Chains A and B, each alone.
Chain A
């Protein structure tokens, strides 16, 4: 990997104000993404989490404040150079009909290519590596639109892997996938982070997945960060109620021990607590199971 051995870059936001057509979505937000870790941004619909991710990837220009990569404003970095350091996979991208998996993953090499050098040895190595990492080597000649939803999402992630950036931003990478394929994609994210030390930031809808797969969780509500830290330290019923407006119980995940959210809903009442109550103070770590 080209970034192996280098210190992981630090991505941060400073006094960020994000707006669409004058409608402020995020205001005065500060965030430092832990380098070399997996960060999950969670929150209710329209809380500004995808907007924040778009700004971190400079797809959206802040109305005020700045996104910094290793201390420098990303707007000062040339587009191509930034694309060699930071990759973004937007939500549900669409490939042109008939485009093969190999061609799609090859597109990930664009920021490394020039007019005359369109398929270097490094390009070939990166694409082969990305196909192997996502288990798509045998499907390289198949059109992307003929794949299953899970395979398709892996193909897009393979494109982002081939880009060989040390920071990877994923906007709801598990949307529209069935549960098995969601876990498949999230396991892949862990692989990317563990094997190559990539910094990963992803927006996730499923709070339980975020608790299990993130090293660092950022919970947002109405454009502000309500809490952040390791899921085991910040997630409890009070936080879920505050962020999602959901009445629930939080219990340790029987597999990983990370917090697991069990919604209650209007038609059920919690059984007598076995190990913990639904309400305990925010910021307080969950009792070990």
Chain B
């Protein structure tokens, strides 16, 4: 008779004598992260090979290592690489930011595209396009400014001897509708050409990304994602409610402000680079949480899920209709929603509600 396997432990503690580091390892979380990273790397590579001029994988590698001919190098390194890098970075930024918003407010619906941050960025960018015929770097600056201004407004309007997640969500939803109305007004007000340019940005777009889009976002991600991962330790008490967190020695208001600032920075730069890519910030953390089997949206897993979502959506956007390149935002919602619904339905059937 086969000996029954011991049940896999959800958490394995580890403790090193030197350096004096200790913590808890979650095997399922690590495995999910590795799998997601491998899938994302695969989607990244496939993205570099596909296009009007198909480039075999070997040539992609040659181009990346500087050994290909000029034409191939140009197509891979100058045209496709910035697009793929923007996709990864936007996915990481939105995934982490979504996880932080959801943890901070204890509400899975509190993603930056539900509480007005993204809408604030959109209004600013559309205003730039319609009123000032702005383009290029100016749009990125406007996107960042719009997101940060909206977040600042949510925080100050929500302040009553401190903020609560609930109040931030309600105020954010209010601001979100104000911004949406303003954007609609600007679109109606603008000329057809400007309105079309603005709409192209509004759905979330990776077409024609250059290193001008990659560099600011890469710097932001390099700075803020480690900060987000470090803040993760403090959010563990925040998940239990403000009073319990405070009782456990977490400076709740300061931590919430730090989380908000970090998450808004990620959303602002992500939106500035690619527009509001629909659904990623909302769904990636929830998908990650269900894959990893945790009770909270795990930040690193959310980052990888976000990256995979945007990369896969972009591949589909480029290949699904022959001869037509859809904006990535059109596909990300259509692709991400069924995945999330499937996970939710499966969880309900298994008896543990979503």
Show the binding face of A for B, using Cβ within 8 Å.
Answer: 54, 57-59, 79-84, 87-90, 93-100, 102-104, 106-108, 110-111, 113, 115-121, 123-124, 141, 143, 146, 163
* B246 proximity list for chain A (CB < 8 A): 58-59, 79
Selected contact of B23 from candidates A81, A82, A119, CB within 8 Å: A119
- Can you show 17 pairs from A to B with CB atoms below 8 A apart? A83-B248, A89-B247, A90-B241, A90-B243, A96-B295, A97-B295, A99-B239, A99-B295, A102-B11, A106-B24, A107-B237, A110-B236, A110-B250, A111-B249, A116-B21, A121-B15, A143-B295
State whether B14 touches A119 (Cβ < 8 A): yes
State whether B247 touches A88 (Cβ < 8 A): yes
* B294 to A, closest residue via Cβ: A98
Selected contact of A100 from candidates B10, B13, B247, CB within 8 Å: B10
* B251 proximity list for chain A (CB < 8 A): 79
Give the distance to chain B from A272, nearest Cβ to Cβ, in Å.
49
State whether B13 touches A110 (Cβ < 8 A): no
**Complex Cα gap A123–B14 (Å):** 12
Within 8 A of A (CB), among B1-28: 10-11, 13-15, 19-24
Give the distance to chain B from A33, nearest Cβ to Cβ, in Å.
17
What 0/1 pattern do residues 268 to 298 of B give for CB contact below 8 A with A?
0000000000000000000000000111100
Within 8 A of A (CB), among B115-133: none
Give the distance to chain B from A77, nearest Cβ to Cβ, in Å.
10
Contacts A96-B296, A100-B10, A118-B23: A111 and B248 contacting too (C-beta < 8 A)? yes
Number of A-B contacts (CB under 8 A): 100
State whether A116 touches B247 (Cβ < 8 A): no
* B294 proximity list for chain A (CB < 8 A): 98
State whether A93 touches B295 (Cβ < 8 A): no
* A83 to B, closest residue via Cβ: B249
The reply on B321 being an interface residue by CB < 8 A is no
The reply on B71 being an interface residue by CB < 8 A is no
The reply on B219 being an interface residue by CB < 8 A is no
The reply on B349 being an interface residue by CB < 8 A is no
Give the distance to chain A from B41, nearest Cβ to Cβ, in Å.
29
* A89 proximity list for chain B (CB < 8 A): 244, 247
Q: Ordered nearest first, which 4 A-B pairs have the shortest CB separation?
A: A83-B249, A111-B249, A99-B295, A98-B295
Determine which residue in A89, A95, A118, A124 has the highest number of CB atoms from chain B within 10 A of its CB, and name it.
A118
* A120 to B, closest residue via Cβ: B22
- The A contact surface, by secondary structure, is mixed
9 additional contacts (CB under 8 A) given A59-B246, A118-B24, A143-B352: A59-B243, A79-B251, A90-B243, A93-B241, A94-B241, A96-B106, A107-B240, A111-B249, A115-B233
**Complex Cα gap A54–B240 (Å):** 17
The reply on B338 being an interface residue by CB < 8 A is no
State whether B22 touches A118 (Cβ < 8 A): yes
The reply on B230 being an interface residue by CB < 8 A is yes
* A119 proximity list for chain B (CB < 8 A): 13-15, 22-24
Give the distance to chain B from A93, nearest Cβ to Cβ, in Å.
5
Give the distance to chain A from B289, nearest Cβ to Cβ, in Å.
8
State whether B248 touches A163 (Cβ < 8 A): yes
* A100 proximity list for chain B (CB < 8 A): 10, 295
Determine which residue in A54, A107, A123 has the highest number of CB atoms from chain B within 10 A of its CB, and name it.
A107
Determine which residue in B14, B15, B24, B295 has the highest number of CB atoms from chain A within 10 A of its CB, and name it.
B295
**Complex Cα gap A87–B20 (Å):** 27
The reply on B70 being an interface residue by CB < 8 A is no
Selected contact of B250 from candidates A79, A81, A87, A120, CB within 8 Å: A79
State whether A141 touches B10 (Cβ < 8 A): yes
* A120 proximity list for chain B (CB < 8 A): 15, 22
Selected contact of B237 from candidates A94, A110, A121, A141, CB within 8 Å: A110
What 0/1 pattern do residues 62 to 88 of B give for CB contact below 8 A with A?
000000000000000000000000000
* A102 to B, closest residue via Cβ: B11
Give the distance to chain B from A159, nearest Cβ to Cβ, in Å.
8
Within 8 A of A (CB), among B207-235: 230, 233
The reply on B353 being an interface residue by CB < 8 A is yes
Contacts A98-B295, A118-B22, A119-B24: A84 and B249 contacting too (C-beta < 8 A)? yes
Give the distance to chain B from A90, nearest Cβ to Cβ, in Å.
4
* A57 proximity list for chain B (CB < 8 A): 247
* B247 to A, closest residue via Cβ: A88
Determine which residue in B15, B106, B293 has the highest number of CB atoms from chain A within 10 A of its CB, and name it.
B15
**Complex Cα gap A203–B302 (Å):** 41
State whether A107 touches B236 (Cβ < 8 A): yes
Give the distance to chain B from A164, nearest Cβ to Cβ, in Å.
12
Give the distance to chain A from B6, nearest Cβ to Cβ, in Å.
12
Give the distance to chain B from A7, nearest Cβ to Cβ, in Å.
23
* B22 proximity list for chain A (CB < 8 A): 116-120, 123
**Complex Cα gap A217–B106 (Å):** 37
* A106 proximity list for chain B (CB < 8 A): 24
**Complex Cα gap A57–B230 (Å):** 27
* A107 proximity list for chain B (CB < 8 A): 236-237, 240, 248
